[in-house]
Amino acid sequence: MKRTLSLSAQTEVENSQHRASLEKKPHDVSKMFDDVAQHYDLTNTVLTGGLVHVWRKVTREAVGARVGLKVLDVACGTGASAAGYAADGADVIGCDFSPGMIARGRELHPGLDLRVGDATALPFADEAFDVVTISYGLRNVVDTQAALRDMLRVTKRGGKIVVAEFSQPTNPLFRATYFEFMRLGMPLLSTIFSSDAPAYDYLRESIQAWHSQKDLAAVMHEAGWRSVEYKNLTNGIVALHRAIRK
Ligand SMILES: C[S@@+](CC[C@H](N)C(=O)[O-])C[C@H]1O[C@@H](n2cnc3c(N)ncnc32)[C@H](O)[C@@H]1O
């Protein structure tokens, strides 16, 4: 299960305006994303070596957006995924609690319906959407269960959830190399390409502390989702979980 690491993280929050603790507080998380919003998409591309675009494509296929479907992208950030679902013809809303990320998304994707809102108290009616999805957001939500339950509430019966999230590489040698890259390479790259390098220390720590593929499937089931299944992308750097509201 998810490890709640305290490290010296609390102290780091106190010393920095910019990064959240692993004992996350919603305001710290929201502020941290406000601060990285301007260069968020570029930094994502650099830190993942472009793989984020491959993962978004696979996620987009799993979401299966099309004309007539109502899709909610929770923790949508700057709308990079939501824009794809809209391009596929769906009626899409993106929702995120960082006003900075939403503002940047509106600049990048004029006309896309992006709203400020909390994943744990979604400002939508029960059973309003055919598909709810969240990419690289669930790990950042303070109360994972509350978000999964509220996403269930706004999904129609028979509708689905798609979760894309960093996970645990399955091959031990690959996993060791990957975590070593994160420890050594990520601070360097984030210093060069991001306006806020400490936020990317949080990124690394939060990925290492997050659920394994199997554990996240169990957490989703506990929240009320059924027929939970997952597949690994790039040897499990990312996992794509899917489930149904029965
Ligand atoms: C790593 S970014 C991912 C953004 C986007 N989904 C993407 O794929 O690029 C994580 C996002 O989760 C949002 N977030 C974290 N906790 C949230 C919450 N409780 N409610 C809404 N958004 C939240 C942050 O503001 C941030 O924009």
pLDDT tens column, 171-191: 999 999 998 888 887 777 767
Q: Give the domain range for residue 101.
A: 26-170+199-244
Contacts (Cβ under 8 Å, ≥6 apart) of 121: 150
20 in a structural domain: no
8 in a structural domain: no
46 in a structural domain: yes
Domain count along the chain: 1
- Give the ligand 1 atom nearest the CA of 164: 8
Segment 119-146, tens digit of pLDDT: 999 999 999 999 999 999 999 999 999 9
Distance of CA 228 to the CA centre of its chain: 18
Q: Do the beta carbons of residue 112 and residue 83 sit within 8 Å?
A: yes
* Coil/strand/helix, residue 227: strand
* Predicted pLDDT at 6: 30
Segment 81-122, tens digit of pLDDT: 999 999 999 999 999 999 999 999 999 999 999 999 999 999
Q: Who lines ligand 1 at CB under 6 A?
A: 26, 29-30, 33, 75-77, 80-81, 96-98, 101, 118-120, 135-137, 140-141
Q: Do the beta carbons of residue 142 and residue 29 sit within 8 Å?
A: yes
Q: Do the beta carbons of residue 102 and residue 58 sit within 8 Å?
A: no
Within 10 angstroms of residue 53's Cβ, the number of other Cβ atoms is 11
The amino acid sitting at 111 is G
CATH number, position 166: 3.40.50.150
181 in a structural domain: no
**Rounded mean pLDDT, 205-223:** 95
Q: Which of 33, 56, 134, 205 to mutate to test the pocket of ligand 1 (most atoms within 8 A of CB)?
A: 33
3 in a structural domain: no
Query: How far away, in angstroms, is 32 Cα from ligand 1 center?
Result: 10
Segment 6-58, tens digit of pLDDT: 322 322 232 334 456 667 789 989 999 999 999 999 989 988 999 999 999 99
DSSP string covering 138-192: GGG-S-HHHHHHHHHHTEEEEEEEEEEEE---SSHHHHHHHHHHHHHHHHHHHHH
- Give the ligand 1 atom nearest the CA of 79: 5
1 in a structural domain: no
147 in a structural domain: yes
Say yes or no to pLDDT of 65 above 60.
yes
Closest CA to 90 of 108, 64, 111: 64
Q: What percent of the chain has pLDDT over 90?
A: 76
187 in a structural domain: no
Annotated ligand binding at 119? The verdict is yes
